[in-house]
Amino acid sequence: MTDLFISAFVTLFVIIDPPGCAPIFASLTGGATAAHRRAMAIRSTLIAAAILLFFAIFGEDLLEKLGISLAAFRIAGGIMLFLIALEMVFEKRTQRRENRANEINASPEQEDISVFPMAIPMIAGPGSIASIMLLMARSDGLQGSLVVLSALGAVLLLTMIALLAAGPLMRLLGHKIEAMITRILGVILAALAAQFVIDGISISFSV
């Protein structure tokens, strides 16, 4: 179960990327009061948690209704995560997030960013939704599912802490260290994505 927790934690941490969300949140809430910033950090994390929990519990049933096998979803999810990993290695994902933040900042009427873009799609995006569904599919029984959900809870807690400490965290890390961490996590994610694809193909041929 420890191996499952570590695998789930690393996968979700890399995909949700709490250190990467912090600078975006800091730039989007630059003109907000400290109390409003704290409220948006907590609200965005809770909304993302509700979305991811929904797909963690009901995602497999949803796939069955659509006639999609878990093996096919593992392969498709693995390919999608691999593309995200490539973007992280070449810093395209960070650039896209920054562009989205600039678009939101250009709209002065948009004051509360807790739902969009923070909760969706920066925290609970396609990658994290696919990841939690894949991890729940790999878990064995109720105990395994609880381990995956506990890993999700740990990552979301770290995300909330990163958002609450966004300003000081950015001053501490700096752009170069953040870019280095993002690239290292991208390589790890690429390996995890490849494993998802291998698992999906293995299941397909064993049936």
pLDDT in tens, 15-62: 898 887 887 787 777 677 888 889 999 999 999 999 999 999 998 888
CB 11 within 8 A of CB 128: no
Burial class (CB in 10 A: 0-12, 13-18, 19+), 205: exposed
Q: CA angle, 49 as apex, 44 and 53 as ends, to 5°?
A: 155
Alpha-carbon gap, residue 136 to 116, rounded angstroms: 26
DSSP assignment letter at 165: T
Alpha-carbon gap, residue 175 to 169, rounded angstroms: 11
Supply the pTM of this predicted model.
0.75
Cis ω before 126 (30° cut-off from 0): no
Domain spans, the chain: 2-206
pLDDT tens across 77-96, in order? 788 878 877 877 887 665 66
Alpha-carbon gap, residue 64 to 62, rounded angstroms: 5
